[in-house]
Structure 1
């Protein structure tokens, strides 16, 4: 029996994350490294030792200890250091001399971090990134979730041993870890300002979101969604807007357009068929809505050949 697709799985499937790089850092003594800006999203996990992570533009540094994981979602430069008063050296000075994917600073021995960088095959990354802070820090993550601990151990082994099929194994392990860290973060108090992601932590709102994702083409009514959530119309509408920052139908409209954009790029279906498939009664109404959000017609979007289009704020 097929498992139902939940909204988080739906969005991640649409984004199609793929690991670009996996690497490790071993360090000893006192050290500080400055990392440049980056594309995509970075995942890191501390397996041994402790340090601080500071992200450019963020007010507070985060203390990291063995078992902690963090995601860097905005591509901003950042710093790792055992002592925040130390003058950092450029990370390239260490990583350019990495051996078998492991960089070593001051001989290693006290600290071990593994990580990877995700790129996305879709241009819909704002669906996820816009709902996340610049750094997602989950403390003691590897001890909270056995699956994450196992995945970290396996990825460390892949980096250390470089076995046959290691690149493919690392891809899958990294995606498992990305999902697990997001799960742990959603269950924490830090997710209280996370828009639609925050709604997933609310069992009642999550049921409504699941319904919207399961049948985006349906002509939903507010009372039907409220019934899924087990709330009155008024309470549901207020709670959804307060949590997500959009009305249920604003959220549905955006999700429909994201789905349509993905189908325009990845299928040969006609614009009319795609419009109907995501719930629009006419191609003209769909094209108007699509142009307002993406800044170009559906046909031009399909023919552009670029995955760099971005949604405009409405």
Structure 2
């Protein structure tokens, strides 16, 4: 798989909720800090969105607003400083239902929120801005369709709904990441910057394609069609890591995923990501994941996290 597919495949969306918002007149809604990722699609009217301590941004019908960092935000019909507590407004609304403000009719938005688990979740979400705006285009249409399907599955549970919601959440996450990469807004430091930088992306793809290989910086530089020095400097500038540090982190995230979801032994998990020595693997795993592999497995068993 390509690197973005690799990363998203290790994420496990769960606990999805979806609801609509129908408003009229002058309105303002304050959303508290939240866990997970929120995705909203505007179907009618316009509004302003202001993430905590940031300038408000105007949204129009056809736009999607993605909030991956969980920061508080204000949604309003015009720029304002405060609003009604969203928890009170949405309290009586069942999954897939619609909250109504002022009788509704002027503005309509549909949205979903889901949690992400899996070893790469914190790394990926930490590399994203607090707000991503998806303007009208192919990605927006897919985001909007996916939000509608999520709401429908939650509103009308049927056999297979749980699996459908999981897959739809994956599609939603993928489309958001695609749009963010295509916009050029991922040009910063981190994972997504690595995927969008044409000078190092071929090397990143090679590492994701064969993480167990004993890559050298020279081999990766050759794949990227650069000198070893130029490649190493560029890679650190874009990712904040050396190529080998990036490779090691990706290996440990893959191993952690295997250890969290299966009964594979630590020795086998080490071998799968290119480590012949279990002790060397243990040192690298603890450095990246914050605990030794066996402690990680014990914590998994204690919490029953073998999804």
For the criterion TM > 0.5, the same-fold answer is yes
Structure 1 position 252, deviation (Å): 0.5
The residue aligned with 1:107 is 103
Superposition TM-score, scaled by structure 1 size: 0.86
Cα distance change on mapping 1:85 and 1:148 into 2, 3 Å: closer
Describe the shift of the 1:169–1:101 C-alpha distance in structure 2 as closer, same or farther (beyond 3 A): farther
Alignment partners' CA distance in 2, 1:144 and 1:15: 20
Contact kept in structure 2, 1:116 and 1:174, CA below 8 Å: no
Gaps of 5+ in 1: 310-314
User: Helix, strand or coil for the counterpart of 1:38?
Assistant: coil
User: What pairs with 1:146-161 in structure 2 (closer than 5 Å)?
Assistant: 146-148=141-143, 150-152=145-147, 154=149
2:132 and 2:15 map into 1 onto residues whose CA distance is 18
Q: Quick check: 1:9 aligned with 2:37? A: no
Q: 2:133 and 2:253 mapped to 1: Cα distance?
A: 28
Alpha carbons 2:13, 2:169 under 8 Å: kept:
no
Partner secondary structure for residue 259 of structure 2: helix
CA distance in 2: counterparts of 1:282 and 1:36, whole angstroms: 47
Specify the alignment match of 1:139 in structure 2: 135
Moved over 4 A (4+): 142-146, 152-159, 163-171
Residues 37 and 67 of structure 2 are in contact (CA less than 8 Å); yes or no, is this contact kept in structure 1?
A: yes
TM-score of the aligned structures, taking structure 2 as reference length:
0.88
Return the match for 2:92 from 94, 97, 104.
97
- 1:269 equivalent in alignment to 2:231: no
| Cα 1:260–1:157 shift into 2, 3 Å | closer
Task: Give the unaligned 5+ runs of structure 2.
Answer: none
Q: Is 2:203 the counterpart of 1:208? A: yes
Q: 1:290 to 1:175 in 2, by over 3 A?
A: closer
Task: Indicate whether 1:85 and 2:83 are aligned.
Answer: no
Would you say the 8 A contact 1:33–1:91 is kept in 2?
Answer: yes
Shift of 1:157: 6.0
For residues 51-108 of structure 1, give each alpha carbon's deviation from its aligned partner in whole angstroms, at most 9, with x where no partner exists. 111122x422222111111221222221111122364111122212326511111111
State the alpha-carbon separation in 2 of the partners of residues 262 and 170 from structure 1: 21
Partners of 2:80 and 2:65 in 1: CA distance:
22
SS at match of 1:218: coil
Give the secondary structure class of the aligned counterpart of 1:193. Answer: coil
CA–CA distance in 2 between the matches of 1:171 and 1:290?
Answer: 29
Aligned to 2:121: 125
2:43 equivalent to 1:30: no
- Other-structure match for 2:43: 47
What's the RMSD between the two structures over aligned residues? 2.5
How many correspondences in the alignment? 301
Look up the match of 1:187.
Answer: 182
Change (3 A) 1:220 1:53: same
